[in-house]
Structure 1
């Protein structure tokens, strides 16, 4: 009897893995059309005011994190972080302010990931007690919709006076921040975070580009990608999206192109990059390029500026990414069941 129990217990992890795999296999998908030619509305018919943030898929639901600008010019302490969620990328529900008890300052770019080790949802954000003396804050929540509680509002980083950033979590549970240093000419580098993702190890890739903003990072297969464009603060003309690749999250990185410029060097989509969303699909993960169409509002309200979501990015065997296409809408697959 004891031996049989031991065998059963040894098999338990394998059975658990099989159950998880089967649950994933049972996922079903359907296509939805995402429009970026008109203001998106929430379930109450109000415009979605959610910019320069990210789109994530957590526990069977899609979450859109961003900055709410309202009727301001975007450079005031009135900025607030908000989160919307949706079961299908079509019906969006506002959950309200994301971050509680914030010191007065100007806030931009909230990014959220789930730490599988601690079980916490972790928010990294950049804010300015005085423009443009930037610093990073980190906050946590037990749920993806928050509210998030501030853990540290001035995280020590290897590079001085940080600006724009993006949060990336690797398959092994290690997290990294790709970010700019305003003091070093808006230079780009990548930095490894501590296992709880609440501070930096200050292990840094070193600068590999400058004069840049709106950085994002993701992984596909065994390649790491870093994308960003030139400085373009709220610019209506949009910005390019330079693509760098590496075999290690801290590099070295090699530039392989720009997916938001045509063959003449002209910007294709007049948007500034905010995120590369990694979402489940029927044939594997889908990667969506997201950018804010600054100055696109028809009513003059900054908070009503549109946001462009690309069709799923197309990758070549050599790792390069096909250039973005300008269109009024795209088709994306969404999960239709809740097995995960």
Structure 2
């Protein structure tokens, strides 16, 4: 073997290292362009190995996409553009569901304090209202949440302004465009001291079912309050009657799982890739400023006796390039 001059060996090694670096550049940490997930009233859909997050921020709705819940990329296109929807202002609290029987994605949301639904063939959108009108034309409402029971019956939970913000439920027609008004039933109102520290508000409903028990997870208090918090109630039917959990609230600024965050609330549970539940919610910008609100994710557990808890340190999502 011939002797290789030291200088030539050094140059060769340098070129080799540079080559490996370039080929491995895709493995470098992603470039963070926003240190927080900048949405309020957040919702996560897990579909085909990816997470899709939607929330309140602008006119219309963005969609953020992730594979690990920590790093999120903002889609270059809006999930829903104002021109594809009835209403022109106050686009709030979108939730997206995949309805396998129809092979469609449905986005339920509120705009101009009316509840609406739009559909798409993709979780990224574009979501479009086939007919630009609210679900209920003659009454204001916000914070929609769809629940389809095991027998295929769809129910819509949402907030009506009846003596404060009150959560109501109605059975939907099969087209998911309208409700059966004769089935309207009151579910939850703000009655407990922790729910009324700043306003008479119960809002942000989410429904899940475990066994024969239905859970209605909700937020209470004014969203501008640092004591905005999360509780839940249970029932043996989506029509109620609902019994509030005696250990409410399950998430608030004084709970360890909040990790110093304030104004924690208006979130939604979702099932992650490992089959476990997680809960996404928003919090205030700081102890001195409500906005801009941003989103966080905690584990959510259901004990053997059926009690829900929000546990662990929050994931603090970032937006990457």
Common topology (TM > 0.5):
yes
Q: Does residue 275 of structure 1 match 2:267? A: yes
The alignment's C-alpha RMSD in Å is: 3.0
Which position in structure 2 is the counterpart of 1:156?
136
The answer to which structure, 1 or 2, has the higher relative contact order (CA under 8 A, 6+ apart) is: 1
Distance 1:179 1:91, change over 3 A: same
Distance 1:275 1:108, change over 3 A: same
Partner of 1:125: helix, strand, or coil? strand
1:139-162 per-position Cα deviation (integer Å, ceiling 9, x unaligned): 0001110010013431128x9421
1:96-153 per-position Cα deviation (integer Å, ceiling 9, x unaligned): 312131442211101110112211100111111xxxxx21111000111001001343
Distance 1:90 1:320, change over 3 A: closer
Equivalent positions of 1:25-104 (< 5 A) are 45-46=33-34, 48-69=37-58, 79-95=59-75, 96-100=77-81, 101=83, 102=85, 103-104=87-88
Q: Does residue 205 of structure 1 match 2:185? A: yes
Distance 1:205 1:42, change over 3 A: farther
Please tell me whether the aligned partners of residues 142 and 159 of structure 2 are also in contact (alpha carbons under 8 angstroms). Answer: yes
Which position in structure 2 is the counterpart of 1:193?
172
Aligned partners of 2:133, 2:263: CA distance in 1, in Å?
29
Aligned partners of 1:272, 1:54: CA distance in 2, in Å?
14
Match of 1:320 among 275, 300, 307: 307
Please tell me whether the aligned partners of residues 191 and 201 of structure 1 are also in contact (alpha carbons under 8 angstroms). Answer: yes
Give the superposition deviation at 1:258: 4.3
Distance 1:85 1:170, change over 3 A: farther
Match of 1:248 among 237, 248, 256: 237
Structure 1 residue runs of 5 or longer lacking an equivalent are: 1-40, 70-78, 129-133, 331-340
Give the structure with higher Rg (CA): 2
Equivalent positions of 1:132-171 (< 5 A) are 134-151=113-130, 152-156=132-136, 160-171=139-150
Aligned partners of 1:204, 1:145: CA distance in 2, in Å?
32
Please tell me whether the aligned partners of residues 206 and 268 of structure 2 are also in contact (alpha carbons under 8 angstroms). Answer: yes
Please tell me whether the aligned partners of residues 116 and 134 of structure 2 are also in contact (alpha carbons under 8 angstroms). Answer: yes
Aligned residue pairs total 266
Aligned partners of 1:252, 1:294: CA distance in 2, in Å?
33
TM-score between the two structures when normalised by the length of structure 2: 0.72
Aligned partners of 1:258, 1:166: CA distance in 2, in Å?
24
Give the superposition deviation at 1:329: 4.2
Distance 1:301 1:266, change over 3 A: closer
Distance 1:266 1:91, change over 3 A: closer
Please tell me whether the aligned partners of residues 165 and 177 of structure 1 are also in contact (alpha carbons under 8 angstroms). Answer: yes
Equivalent positions of 1:305-316 (< 5 A) are 305-311=293-299, 313-316=300-303
TM-score between the two structures when normalised by the length of structure 1: 0.69
Please tell me whether the aligned partners of residues 218 and 224 of structure 1 are also in contact (alpha carbons under 8 angstroms). Answer: yes
Which position in structure 2 is the counterpart of 1:115?
99
